[in-house]
Structure 1
Amino acid sequence: MLMDLSSEMIHSLLPLFMFTALGASAFTIGLIEGLAEATALIVKVFSGALSDFLGKRKGLAVFGYALGALSKPLFAVAPVLGIVVSARLLDRLGKGIRGAPRDAMVADMTPSHLRGAAFGLRQSLDTVGAFLGPLLAVGLMLLWANDFRAVFWVAAVPALIAVALLAFGLREPDRPRAEKRQNPISGENLRRLGTSYWWVVGVGAVFTLARFSEAFLVLLAQQRGVPIALVPLVMVAMNMIYALSAYPFGKLSDRMSHRSLLALGLGVLIVADLVLAMAGHWSTVLAGVALWGLHMGITQGLLATMVANTAPADLRGTAYGFFNLMSGIVMLLASGVAGLLWDRLGASSTFYAGALFCLLALLVLASARSLELEPKP
């Protein structure tokens, strides 16, 4: 929650900072955001595998959170776009290092029949920080007359508190040690992950193609007339809906078909994309953003649960890593395409393309009805 508070104070303003203060184009912003998110997701494959190999996850998580905290002051002092890119990549590198070990720890600590609720609660707490961050950013921008850099300095404080809380407040559960350490990404172990797991990876990749960087929500709001100081309220609205829906839908996933729930989430994203594509006023943008937040609440904890349910316990870190590797590669492609469409054909084309990719994801979902994706009794 604290790290998301810090990160979203910056991320809710960063597209506008790059666009207005540093002169970046929408295509450039899309590439930067896609590269940053891809970096985080790709690095997770290595940190997840390393946590499985070592049998320990907390140390990697602390290191990842510390890198994220150290990146925050770089945004505040950046004189040119290159420094911003470096800070963004360092921040996402930290996220990549901590992400898979953290998710694997959640799975390690949680009984299988409560796993959906546990991941839903984690997403809710993440997202509480994610809507408080933009809200605080709005207040500080109004107070300090749109001083981006001053807000970025303040964002470093909760990040440092998050590192301290994890380092000194969390006790890692004991895990059974193997007699001999094995390479988690050997051919034998990758085959143990099984068909159902790799199918989840494929669906997650297509889903990521449909869900490009949220930087484009911020740019759309500004283009439709929202004042710069108030643009972060768009992310507040999205993350508030996300936070309120993630835990209830996480609990629901423990009692109903994961495939049906994921299809519901894709349907909501299609509607969100269509509303955003046709938006001519900030109020319509807000409605589309709220639907975007709802689809996140339905699907993000669910996908994490599906990975945990289809992977062996001793390979969960590796499983999350490969899931995010594929998603990271696709995120880079999706954000680049979204930015190119925005620059060449206008904002609406970006969101119409997102809706088409959602339909593709639904077709992939329907093509593998025979695979077992629910938790084993």
Structure 2
Amino acid sequence: MEVCPYCGSSVADQHHTSYAARLIHALSHPLAEVRMRAIIALGLRREEGAATALLACALRHPVDVTEGVAVAQALGNMLDSRPAVQALTVLSERHPARAVRRASRALLQAGGSWRHGHRAPALQERRCGGSSGSNPDRDRSPMNGRSATEGVQMFRQVFSLPSTVWLLGLVSLFNDSASELVYPLVPIYLASVLMAGPRALGIIEGIAEMVSSLLKLFSGIIADRVHRAKFLVVCGYSLAAISRPLLAFATAWPIVLALRFADRLGKGLRSSPRDAMLAASVSGDQRGLAFGLQRAMDNAGAVVGPLAATMLIAAEMPITEIFLWASLPGAMAVFLAVSVREPAREIRYDGKPPDWNLQKLPRVFRRYLWVLALFTLGNSSNMFLLLRARELGLPEYQVPLLWGATSLVAMLFSTHLSGLSDRVGRVPMIFAGWMIYALFYLCLGLNGSGLSLLWPLFAFYGLFMAATEGAEKALVADMAPPALLGTAYGWFNLTTGVMLLPASFIFGSLWQYAGPVTAFGFAAGCSLLAAILLKLWVK
């Protein structure tokens, strides 16, 4: 008998039930994407018998604010049903998320009350095609007022976050400013000063990024074992701050490899313990806000660093001196990291080695890892993109500015596009992002005409980053059972990390021996094939 790997129900039994019953059953599914689709479908169908199940679904997942709001909107489509009004009233009073309570109250106020025997005006207008006396501006004004109020409240909530969150955010800003001050200049330094080709660049970046991804798996376990996260965070930022200025004294590309290795080693050491400190410093209903603030400051650093590099290059400062200037924001990041107070948290470590058995995870997740590995095989280091831009004639001082603009686009759109994946689904969003990636690589590889499309193309690449960075990780949580979530993210990071070295090595070798068109075509082909497999195989 075939059973669902997530909820254990019989697939054959589901075929003999009505569509509405299957939708109601899907509300208890462990995958958030499946629940969201069922909620939307029930709301559009106005299944009044599903009101109680929708309420239970929202209360069963109190942390998922998006799902709670979707339930409220679905119940709002059924306001001519007493159970729906009662369920919406309970949501407005009992749901722990303020946004869900506010949305429920607004729908109740707009829909009238059963105690007065009136049908929902909004619903009646939808069914009758609107009322002759309706005023569009007046109809929109409550929503505008709510949006303004929500914006003010969120602004206040951000500034009410603990000092630990703000300090870690500032640490990310200064550290990423130093990193992005150096990062766009490394390929130029290798090519023009050390006379190293794309193959050397591929080896350097592949090894550096692979080591960083692998260490992220274990640094969190080490933090739990020694009961201290701050020590690893400070060590990680210190290692990066020391290694970047030393690039100025490199006389051969293997030395650059060693220094980039140390830089990424620091990132691998600090990332998981830092996230653990962030999560422990706030309550459960503020974690999204805390991580959002940290990511916003990190992306801001990715804009500030290239801008600073552009100004220094425009001032005709040698690249080696720019590497030395990177020590200032790096030292500031270390100073702020030392100033962070580590939050008290209960740590339970039973002494058992971690179980990384992949067979314990769902089959669909294992398929996702295979598809992700194929995509990563074509997703080499971003430094090749900057090297290609320089080859196409971009002035040297504009190279960091180009990458800063790419980071700016990613910063502006990542929150919106990641949130959009909650409504349209993770797989469609990732599919769209990988298609953008394939188109970008094809255009950049074939762009022999020069600079006319370079800036729009890199802005396009920023959209790829915004569409996929959050959705890819969210899909892991959607697929993995809650008890194996850490294991699932471990395999996710391991897959992307292991594939980075062959990806960069293959890309650099193809470029050096067959030309850039072949290398960029290979990357685009891997992305296209991975996107197709994602759509057809990962179900």
TM over 0.5: yes
**2: CA distance, partners of 1:54 / 1:80:** 38
On the 8 A contact 1:249/1:298 being kept in 2, the answer is yes
What does residue 274 of structure 1 align with?
A: 442
Question: Please, which moves more after superposition, 225-234 or 161-170?
Answer: 161-170
Question: Please, which moves more after superposition, 110-119 or 206-215?
Answer: 110-119
Code of the residue aligned with 2:321 in structure 1: it is A
**Shift of residue 246, structure 1, vs aligned partner:** 1.3
Query: Is 2:221 the counterpart of 1:46?
Result: no
**1: CA distance, partners of 2:285 / 2:451:** 42
On the 8 A contact 2:202/2:508 being kept in 1, the answer is yes
**1: CA distance, partners of 2:474 / 2:346:** 20
What does residue 321 of structure 2 align with?
A: 150
Query: Is 2:513 the counterpart of 1:365?
Result: no
Code of the residue aligned with 1:229 in structure 2: it is Y
**1: CA distance, partners of 2:494 / 2:299:** 23
Change (3 A) 1:135 1:344: same
**Shift of residue 98, structure 1, vs aligned partner:** 1.8
Runs of 5+ in structure 2 lacking a partner?
Answer: 1-172
Higher RCO (C-alpha 8 Å, min separation 6): 1
Question: Please, which moves more after superposition, 335-344 or 109-118?
Answer: 109-118
Code of the residue aligned with 1:174 in structure 2: it is R
| 1:34 equivalent among 189, 198, 206 | 206
**Shift of residue 303, structure 1, vs aligned partner:** 2.2
What does residue 402 of structure 2 align with?
A: 234
What does residue 346 of structure 1 align with?
A: 515
Question: Please, which moves more after superposition, 312-321 or 1-10?
Answer: 312-321
Code of the residue aligned with 1:46 in structure 2: it is F
**2: CA distance, partners of 1:51 / 1:288:** 41
| 2:415 equivalent among 239, 247, 259 | 247
On the 8 A contact 2:511/2:519 being kept in 1, the answer is yes
Code of the residue aligned with 1:182 in structure 2: it is K
Code of the residue aligned with 2:180 in structure 1: it is E
**Shift of residue 21, structure 1, vs aligned partner:** 0.2
The 3-state SS of whatever aligns with 1:231 is helix
5 Å-filtered alignment, 1:279-290, equals 279=447, 280-290=449-459
What does residue 139 of structure 2 align with?
A: none
On the 8 A contact 1:263/1:365 being kept in 2, the answer is yes
Query: Equivalent pairs: percent with the same residue?
Result: 35
Q: TM-score, normalised on structure 1?
A: 0.86
On the 8 A contact 1:268/1:291 being kept in 2, the answer is yes
**2: CA distance, partners of 1:229 / 1:58:** 37
**2: CA distance, partners of 1:54 / 1:312:** 27
Code of the residue aligned with 1:185 in structure 2: it is D
Q: What are the superposed Cα offsets for residues 41-84 of structure 1, whole Å, 9 maximum, x if unpaired?
A: 12222223334545654432332222111212211222332322
**Shift of residue 124, structure 1, vs aligned partner:** 3.8
**Shift of residue 357, structure 1, vs aligned partner:** 0.6
The 3-state SS of whatever aligns with 1:162 is helix
The 3-state SS of whatever aligns with 2:307 is helix
On the 8 A contact 2:277/2:342 being kept in 1, the answer is no
The 3-state SS of whatever aligns with 1:181 is coil
Query: Is 2:361 the counterpart of 1:182?
Result: no
Code of the residue aligned with 1:360 in structure 2: it is L
Code of the residue aligned with 2:261 in structure 1: it is L
Change (3 A) 1:198 1:117: farther
Change (3 A) 1:98 1:203: farther
Q: What are the superposed Cα offsets for residues 94-152 of structure 1, whole Å, 9 maximum, x if unpaired?
A: 11122233445556678889887776654443222112211100101122x24011111
Code of the residue aligned with 1:72 in structure 2: it is R
Aligned length: 366
**1: CA distance, partners of 2:443 / 2:364:** 34
On the 8 A contact 1:43/1:97 being kept in 2, the answer is yes
**1: CA distance, partners of 2:395 / 2:479:** 46
On the 8 A contact 1:107/1:308 being kept in 2, the answer is no
**1: CA distance, partners of 2:334 / 2:300:** 18
What does residue 304 of structure 1 align with?
A: 473
Change (3 A) 1:182 1:228: same
Q: What are the superposed Cα offsets for residues 305-356 of structure 1, whole Å, 9 maximum, x if unpaired?
A: 3334555667655544432222122111111111111112222222211110
**2: CA distance, partners of 1:263 / 1:112:** 31
The 3-state SS of whatever aligns with 1:281 is coil
**Shift of residue 14, structure 1, vs aligned partner:** 0.5
On the 8 A contact 2:200/2:253 being kept in 1, the answer is no
What does residue 77 of structure 1 align with?
A: 249
Code of the residue aligned with 1:327 in structure 2: it is T
Code of the residue aligned with 2:176 in structure 1: it is D
On the 8 A contact 2:174/2:330 being kept in 1, the answer is yes
Runs of 5+ in structure 1 lacking a partner?
Answer: 371-377
Code of the residue aligned with 1:288 in structure 2: it is L
**1: CA distance, partners of 2:259 / 2:198:** 19
On the 8 A contact 1:132/1:236 being kept in 2, the answer is yes
What does residue 15 of structure 1 align with?
A: 187
| 1:257 equivalent among 425, 435, 459 | 425
Q: What are the superposed Cα offsets for residues 194-240 of structure 1, whole Å, 9 maximum, x if unpaired?
A: 44554443343233223211111111111111122222122112111
